[in-house]
Each structure stands twice: as C-alpha cells, then as structure tokens.
Structure 1
C-alpha cells in the first residue's frame, strides 16, 4: 500500500507589505533560452529532540514558513511577479512584471514518519517525489511563475520543503540566498542577514549576441537514475595523490567530477579513442563582475559562465585520476580571461550560453555551496537536500552532500542509458 500525502491547502502567498510595481528587465544571462525552466528540489528536516525557535512559537512548520515567505517576498518582490515573454523573440527578451500576485504555496501532510520512508535517503523513495513537490497553480503557465513551495509535515514532527524555482530568475546561489531569507524571518529576525539587490543591468554585461538562428532539436535520451557516495577517505587520498604528482592542491569538486567523467567515459566504450568527449559545468562569476565580489553581495540573478573541458576519449580513459583533475583545473584557470573576452563582446566559440548536448557530453552542477543546507526555519538545518534538475536530452550529474552526519560527496546522476549503466556503476564504486 502506498503512503498517502494529502494536500490540505493551496494558495498564493503575497508580499506582507506593499511592493514596487512595473517591469524589470532580466540580464543577458537570465534571458538564455535554455534557462527558462523550473528547478525542483526537496529539503528534508528530521524531527529534533529539543525545542527549536520555531517549535517555541507553537506553530506548525507550514504556518511558520508561509508567514516568513510573505515577509521575504517584500524584499524579493520580483519573485512575487510573473515572467512575461517579449513581443518579438519570446523568451529571449523576457522580463518580469512586478504584479505582487505572489508565490504558489501548498500545505500537505504525510500519513507516516520520516523513518517510515528511510528519511528519503535512498532512491527510489517510498513516496513519489512528485507528491512532495508543489502541484501546478491553476490558470497560470508554469514557466511564468517564479516560485512554488510545498511544506509536507510528517507524523514524527519532521517535514520536507519542496521547492520549485525558475532558473531564469535565480541561479543556485541566488535561490539559496532567498531560502535563507525565508529562514531568517522564520526564526524571528527583523530582516534577512543578506540584503538582496536586483542590479541586473548594472552588474551583468550585455554583449551583442554573436550567434543566431533556431536552437538545435535535442536528441531525447533514456537516461537512468543512479546515486553514488564518495567517501571522505577516498577523496582525501585522491587529493594527496594530486598534490604529490603536481605540487598543487585540488578541491573535492575537482576530484568528484574527474572520477565521474572518467568512469562515465570508460563505461561508454567508444570504439574510436580519438572521439571527443566533453565535460561542462557552470562557474560562479560574481567576483569577475563590475565592482567585484563586494558589489555583487546580495545579487541573486544568474551570474555564471560555462567552463568546458574537451579531450579525446582515449586520453580520459587512460589517464590516472590526477591527470583528469589537471585537465579540469586547466579549464578552470582559463575562466577569467574567457569571461572577460565574452563580456567585452569578442567572439567566443562555442557560445558559452548556447548549450548543446550529445551522448558524448556530460554536464555537472555543484550544489554543495549554494547555502540550502544552512536554511534553519527554527527546527535546525536540513539533513539533506535532494535536487531533481534533470532533462532527458542532457547527460547530467549533481554533486551534493550525503545525508548528515555522513561525510564525503553524493553524486546524483542521470547520465547513461541502460546499456552502459552496469559498467558505469562498477567504475564509480571502484573509487
């Protein structure tokens, strides 16, 4: 028998005070057509032994989060508006109408404890993830709504926050900043610890579009879901090997994606070792914007550049792990110069914001530093954050943290089809 999740109420949460009206222009990066999608995630809050600040209020988590959301939408009032396409080229000239209509909010209850569903630590879950994410608001095109939330309360006192946010409005750091603003209000702070700024026209370059034409039609893939944890001991050993080999240090992210890229490339068993394979990921560029990191404090729009590593498959397959890490670090080192060229309007090929995908490419996102795991609504921080930012045409992996208190890295993937899955699992588990 399935576990029932009942949605008890659905409504819009409007800003708790008056907010500015009118139109706001999105930045050149926000308007990238490929970003016009929603990013879903689950944030798991287990029951706590002692009374937290939220519990002292004698209110349910859903009530506390809902009230705090209304307050946060005063500061982040564009998220209470609606995305509107431009009259000529649609999403490529989208803007935000600050209508104050609000974010979609759902309150739900689950007929079980979090322990009954193993705290959602292993996929597939005993509860379908769709039951824990907000259902669509009636009468609104889903992609026009910047934000939707659902708080599902469990019989044990734990709860799950299901978040669905528009990538056209925020990048991961921006979404994490907003969630922490809600948490700040939930704990009784008079204002968010980070004051948001819009400043899209002032901070983000707007170079001329160098490439034009219709987007290619992507090939739909039957990618399989797989999650693997890398131990902290294995990661530290790989870092030590890289230090001994090169005299340089590397990050956990470097090690994780190097191992992932090599394992996946080996599992593909490409017949021609000269076949090019690529690895891509978004790199934060706030420190490279006008005025540097201090000027972008509080900025919550998209602020990244695509770093791409390309090599012959034989080179990736045959290298030791330190060699693959070196390829990745070389690409990261080119970021400031490449971003400066793009910002100055020079021709950069391929366009870093015209993403195209094939089965020989892999895209990775890093969720470890976005701030989601710091969000405390009064019941402590989440035991884990579970992303579902996958597309059927994009072989992809997400680097996150394993459920607390476990250390290391959790890699969640939809990056290989069934024919390559067994070998991919074997390669990853051999780390």
Structure 2
C-alpha cells in the first residue's frame, strides 16, 4: 500500500484547453440510451504510473502527450466538445472543438516514494489530478481532464478524469491507447473510432421483456461517503486458492471475478450487519460487447455494459456458505443477453433514465482485462494503470474495482479498493483475513437449494 503519510509538493502550470490539431466537424451527436442513464452522470478518475526509462532521452512526457492528445482528437473529436441536454433530458455532444482540459505539473517525489506496491488509495491524489475550477460538472464542461506530472526519478504520472456518459472502461482504454500510439509516432490510431450510438437506443416500440431488479425502487438510506474509510485488499494465487478450498468441488473452477465477488459481498454484508430480513444486493458490471447482435463495429467506444444484480436477505447471505452467494452471482451474470440489453435500453426510456438501486447495494467492476496497464506513451507499459480510487460513482462509496496488481513480493494478483465505515472496515478485514488463510480442504457438502429472486 502506498504510504498514506506521503507529503509532496506539486507545481502546476496554468490549465489549458487542448483542441484537435485539425478542423473537425461542428455537429450535435446524441448519446445512446445506455450512455445517458442517471447512474453514469459523474466523472471517473484514472491514474497511470510510468517508471523512468533510460532508453528515452531528452523527451518531455507532458509535451509529447499534449501533442498526441491534439492529434488523437482529430479522430475522436466528440471528446473535444461539450455535453448538452436536449428535450426529455436526452444527452448529446455539441462538437464545438473547444478541447479537453490539460494540466502540466512537476512533483518533488520519485516513484519509489509511493511505496513498494502501487495501489489505491493513492496519497495526494487531489494534487495529481487537480480539480480545475469549473471543470467538474457533467454538462457544459470539458469531457476529459488530463494531468501529466513529472517525477524527480524521470518517471511520470498520467492522470485522467472522464465524463462516464461518454465511454466505459473498454472505450476509454481504446482512446488512451490511441493517444499512446500517436505519442510513439503513429500517423493515425490503429483502431479507428466509431460513434454509431443509435445502435444501443431503445426500440421503436419500447417494451421491458426481462427482469431488471437493479432498478428497483427501494426505501432506505445510503451511508454518507464522508463517513467511510478507504483500503485496498490484495488477492494473489495463495489467497484465491484458500477461497477455492472453501467452496464445494463443483464451484471451484468458477472465475476469479465470481468467487471474489461472492466472498466480498458476503463479508461486506456481515461487516455492515443489516437487519436479518432486509434485502441486500450486489451489482456486477458485465461487459456486454459480445452479447450485442448484430455485433457492434470495431472501434465503438460508448458504454456497453449491464448492471445485473444478485439479491437475497441478509440472513440467507450471512448464514449460508460462500457457495450460496456464488450461485447467485453466476445466475445474475448469465442473465445478460442481447435481449436483456434491448430490454434495458427500453426500460431506461420508459422510466426516464432511473439510477440503479443504491440502498444496501454493493457494486463491483472487473477491469483486470481492460488494458489500462498496457497503454504505452513511449516509456513502456505502466507500473500501475487503472482506477485512481474505489467508491467513485454518482452515489459515492458503493463501488469496488478489481484491478491487476503486483504486490511488494513481486506476486501478481488482483487489488480491490473497498470503502466502509471505520467499525465495519475492521470487521471486514477480519472476515477477509479469515477466509484467505491457508486452510485444509473445507468441502461444503452441498450448496443449499435457492430460489432466485432475480
């Protein structure tokens, strides 16, 4: 974990707008009905750490990335525009060509000052991704804010804030990969961007044909974010093997995502200790690109994910073995089909873009295969690449990301940032430590039969 007491001074130049390097079309482009839902109307922070590369001499990462951004925006010109609301709160991009916000900075710290293993929460994040005054609103502001901070060791930090209505993780990685390609001398991005947002609009006669419990209206309150503490947890081969030994044999080959989601959901619920008969849920963000028919064109960079939900009562989740939660998570993920996505777009239009249910909800997003760490601006791959912190969202505190990571021992695995109130966090830590200890084979005789509420 990065040292929380790290103090650094960041000297920033005046923020500037980086416009496309060439004239681009001035037009109004509507977002899809998946893009403009209420739950995506927020800014999401990403951070990339790059080590000093002795083969790179007399090259300034800030100047190179700034120029590459300008060139990339010629193809990705909607990012240089501003988001507006049309009638019925429909979102669209006014392609004005004004540009994205760019900040050049220097820090009096080296990469080693951030600790042996790079993982959120990162100290001094507000200095490394500075919130330029007037830039944080969803509407009428730059759609991207980029800050490049040079370090004393010769490395640098690339931090970015994205208006989530524009892209999901896959779309954002496609864009910053293109910036990297241009920074390394390409004349155009390898994958050309495709807008085509109408492909994920509601049908001409909207109809809800699937069950979408993720948009239930649930009474209750959400824990205020300022009452939470933030910590990351590492899961390597040792931890995953311990978790698998706690599952019945027929469930041990399930994916890391499904097993971790089940374990964290159950442990988090135990730590929060809701009333036994209250309904609790976990939302699994599922990339639906492979489900859409006909397939979306290569280069599509909008939001293409679903929020299927697993739900049960607190009593059932906490008193049953982990296999019970795992079966629920499996079922939720399997529900996502092309028809599910069409039904989802229809629901968002019929119900006027509702926010997903936040009360007693935990949300998990797997970015281990998104490719953030592979982005190369000419200095090689990132030492860390991915979400800058957990708990981000239109309603902060609900979300955890599964991020590829290497710990201080050099072991590869997944790091998961979690936000909880302090007392609940202490209980959660004990739950996770107990579950991930080396143990004998804890064969669970059978997972209790369940009736899914999905």
Report matched runs for 1:156-167 at 5 Å.
156-167=153-164
Match of 1:224 among 205, 218, 229: 229
Query: What corresponds to 1:265 in structure 2?
Result: 269
Verify: 1:278 aligned to 2:287, yes or no.
Answer: no
Q: Distance in 2 between matches of 1:314 and 1:79?
A: 47
Match of residue 109, structure 2, among 98, 107, 112: 112
Q: Secondary structure at the match of 2:231?
A: strand
Counting only pairs closer than 5 Å after superposition, residues 25-40 of structure 1 correspond to structure 2 as 25-40=30-45
Are 2:81 and 2:99, in contact at CA under 8 Å, matched by a contact in 1? yes
Asked if residue 76 in structure 1 is aligned to residue 76 in structure 2, the reply is: yes
Counterpart pick for 1:411 among 409, 416, 429: 416
**Structure 2 CA distance for partners of 1:349 and 1:256, relative to 1, 3 Å:** farther
Give the C-alpha shift of residue 245 in structure 1. Answer: 2.5
Q: How does 1:14-413 map to 2 (within 5 A)?
A: 14-48=19-53, 50-51=54-55, 55=56, 58-86=58-86, 88-89=87-88, 92-118=89-115, 121=118, 125=122, 127-136=123-132, 141=137, 143=139, 144-206=141-203, 208=206, 219=222, 221=224, 222-239=227-244, 244-246=249-251, 249-272=253-276, 274-292=277-295, 295-336=296-337, 339=340, 342=343, 345=346, 354-358=355-359, 360-385=360-385, 386-388=387-389, 390-391=392-393, 393-403=396-406, 405-413=410-418
CA distance, structure 2, for counterparts of residue 25 and residue 205 of structure 1: 13
Return the offset for 1:281.
2.2
Question: C-alpha distance in 1, partners of 2:90/2:317?
Answer: 39
Cα distance in 1, alignment partners of residues 353 and 403 from structure 2:
24
Give the structure 1 partner of residue 431 of structure 2. Answer: 427
User: TM-score normalised to the size of structure 1?
Assistant: 0.87
Retained in 2: the 8 A contact 1:25–1:96?
A: yes
Report the Cα offset of residue 300 of structure 1. 0.5
| CA separation of 1:231 and 1:118: change in aligned 2, threshold 3 A | same
The number of residues matched between the two structures is: 415
Q: What SS does the aligned partner of 1:410 have? A: strand
Contact residue 256 and residue 409 of structure 1 kept, 8 A? no
The answer to whether the 8 Å contact 2:200/2:342 transfers is no
Q: Residue 66 of structure 1 aligns to a residue in which SS?
A: helix
Shift of 1:162: 1.0
1:355-406 Cα distance to aligned partner (Å, 9 max, x none): 1211x22111222122211101111111113433524554221111224653
Q: Secondary structure at the match of 2:282?
A: strand
Contact in 2 for aligned 1:357/1:394 (Cα 8 Å): no
Cα separation, 2, equivalents of 1:220 and 1:162 = 28
* Whole-angstrom CA distance in 2 between matches of 1:140 and 1:376: 27
Deviations 1:339-365 (A, max 9, x none): 15606847999999631211x221112
User: Does the Cα contact within 8 Å between 1:81 and 1:146 map onto a contact in 2?
Assistant: yes
CA distance in structure 2 between the aligned counterparts of 1:352 and 1:369, rounded to whole angstroms = 29
* Cα distance, 1:341–1:215 mapped onto 2, change above 3 Å: same
Distance 2:172 2:186 in 1: 19
- Long gaps (5+) in structure 1: none
The structure-2 alpha-carbon separation of the partners of 1:205 and 1:193, relative to structure 1 and needing over 3 Å to count, comes to farther
Q: Using the TM superposition, give the Cα deviation of residue 419 of structure 1 relative to its aligned residue in structure 2, in angstroms.
A: 2.9
Structure 1 CA distance for aligned equivalents of residues 349 and 138 of structure 2: 33
Match of 1:188, SS state, is coil
Q: Distance in 2 between matches of 1:311 and 1:185?
A: 49
Q: Distance in 2 between matches of 1:2 and 1:18?
A: 43
Kept after mapping to 2: 8 A contact 1:134/1:163 = no
Q: Structure 1 stretch 215-224 or stretch 14-23: which is displaced more?
A: 215-224
